[in-house]
């Protein structure tokens, strides 16, 4: 991927991720299947996102003898879901890291301007001390992701990452311009946005497909 689109972009090309994403894209995939696949793909994404967590040695007793064993150092991470569809990604990540804190940013896209409007915010008190993974299934215009990250910066967060199932060059450029230091992890970069700001070829409205609301 051209660094001009985003300087810190990682596309997760693992065969399992790509296979599951293909099933999610299919029109005939049911709500239950879609939700389960989103959870599975998100767990696999979390594995990659947490690859470089700091490690320290701690004393433990095995059934045979004491030892110094590796454990994650410092405070654990925080997953921040951009409502509502982000909850479908957060759930899978929590399967892998159940001790993670969870925050929520409520944003909806104005149907005319396509700009984000904040209606809800709830974060852990110590969110600024944690690695924060911001999740939303789709990086379309990039405006909601950029606004959510800006809101987290105002809360003192400095160690931020963004994860999504699909992105497009338009959204990646917006996020790179607003927050060039924030790494982006996605499963695929699709062709473009259409006139209604939907990702093409995409997978439809991720929120509706996760929750069966259309």
List the catalytic residue out of 51, 52, 113, 181: 113
Residue 114 has a pLDDT of: 67
Q: What is the pTM of this model?
A: 0.91
Spatial contact of 105 and 49, defined as CB atoms under 8 Å apart: no
Model confidence over 27-53: pLDDT tens digits? 999 999 999 999 999 999 999 999 999
Structure tokens belonging to residue 145? 């992701």
Whether residue 142 is annotated as binding a ligand: the answer is yes
* Domain segments of the chain as ranges: 9-200
What CA–CA distance (Å, rounded) separates 30 from 23?
10
C-alpha pair distances (Å), 57 with each of 25, 45, 53, 62: 43, 26, 13, 14
Residue 2 has a pLDDT of: 52
Nearest to 147 by CA among 173, 176, 178, 171: 178
Whether residue 205 is annotated as binding a ligand: the answer is yes
Residue 1 has a pLDDT of: 47
Active site residue 205: yes
Residue 97 has a pLDDT of: 92
Exposure class string for 66-79: b at 16+ Cβ within 10 A, else e: eeeeeeeeeeebbb
What CA–CA distance (Å, rounded) separates 31 from 100?
26
Whether residue 140 is annotated as binding a ligand: the answer is yes
Residue 107 has a pLDDT of: 84
Instruction: Show Cβ contacts of residue 77 under 8 Å, excluding neighbours closer than 6 positions.
Output: 50, 53, 97, 100, 101, 130, 131, 132, 133
CATH number of 9-200: 3.40.50.2020
Report, as ranges of residue numbers, the positions in the chain whose pLDDT lies below 50.
1
Instruction: Show Cβ contacts of residue 156 under 8 Å, excluding neighbours closer than 6 positions.
Output: 127, 128
Whether residue 143 is annotated as binding a ligand: the answer is yes
List the catalytic residue out of 109, 129, 153, 173: 109
What CA–CA distance (Å, rounded) separates 164 from 49?
11
Active site residue 113: yes
Whether residue 100 is annotated as binding a ligand: the answer is no
List the catalytic residue out of 10, 31, 153, 205: 205
Model confidence over 76-100: pLDDT tens digits? 899 999 988 999 999 999 999 999 9
């Amino acid at each position: 991927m051209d660094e001009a689109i985003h300087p810190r972009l990682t596309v997760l090309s693992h065969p399992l991720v790509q296979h599951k994403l293909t099933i999610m894209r299919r029109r005939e995939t049911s709500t239950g299947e879609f939700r389960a696949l989103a959870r599975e793909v998100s767990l696999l994404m979390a594995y990659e996102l947490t690859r470089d967590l700091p490690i320290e040695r701690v004393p433990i007793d095995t059934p045979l003898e004491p030892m110094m064993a590796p454990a994650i150092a410092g405070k654990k991470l925080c997953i921040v879901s951009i409502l509502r569809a982000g909850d479908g990604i957060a759930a899978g990540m929590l399967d892998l890291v159940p001790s993670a804190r969870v925050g929520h940013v409520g944003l909806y896209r104005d149907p005319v301007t396509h700009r984000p409007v904040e209606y809800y915010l709830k974060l852990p008190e110590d969110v600024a001390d944690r690695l924060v993974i911001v999740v939303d299934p789709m990086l379309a215009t990039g405006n909601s992701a950029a606004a959510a990250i800006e809101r987290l910066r105002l809360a003192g967060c400095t160690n931020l990452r963004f994860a999504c199932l699909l992105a497009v060059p338009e959204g990646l450029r917006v996020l790179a311009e607003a927050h060039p230091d924030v790494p982006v992890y996605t499963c695929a970069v699709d062709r473009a946005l259409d006139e209604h700001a939907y990702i093409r070829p995409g997978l439809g409205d991720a929120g509706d497909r996760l929750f069966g609301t259309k």
